Every structure is written in C-alpha cells, then in structure tokens.
Amino acid sequence: MTEEIRQNGSTVLASCSEHAIPMIFNNLCGKNFSGKEYRDYIRYIALGEMGFKPGRIELYRDGELLKSGYIPKF
C-alpha cells in the first residue's frame, strides 16, 4: 500500500508506512495542532523544508483519492 500527498497533480510526499502520510496530511491541514505552532509548522517545515506551496493538497492511497485539504498562506 502506497500513500501520497499530492499538490497540483504532483506527488510531494509518498510512503508505504501505514500511518506516516495521513498524520502529515492532518498536520498540514491543521487537524493536529493550531495557532502559532501550526503557523510555524507551515512556514518552516511544510513550505521551507517539504516543498509544499499554499493551496489545495490531496491524500491518495494506492492511486485513489481519499481526501483533500488546504494549506493556508501566512
């Protein structure tokens, strides 16, 4: 089983680990934390290190779309 987070049709992160990609997806969408911690995560980790851009993201499992979310611009 392969899980991916895609943005603009391209895979940004992928893994065969069962929990890693969904957890990162939830982090990116602000479900696991909020406030300053979330803003810092988006600015320094998601945008700065992972290569994401503000905008829509999608979670796929074995090529099938599971859910979509949004990375805000701060």
Averaged over successive runs of 10 residues, the pLDDT of the chain (74 residues) comes to 96 91 96 95 95 97 97 91
- Would you say 46 and 71 are in contact if contact means Cβ atoms under 8 Å apart? yes
Q: Of 56, 53, 50, 55, nearest to 21 (Cα)?
A: 50
Q: How many residues does the chain have?
A: 74
- The pLDDT assigned to 18 comes to 78
Q: What angle do CA 12, 64, 30 make, to 5 degrees?
A: 50
66 is in which domain, residue-wise? 3-71
Domain count, the chain: 1
- The pLDDT assigned to 14 comes to 95
pTM: 0.92
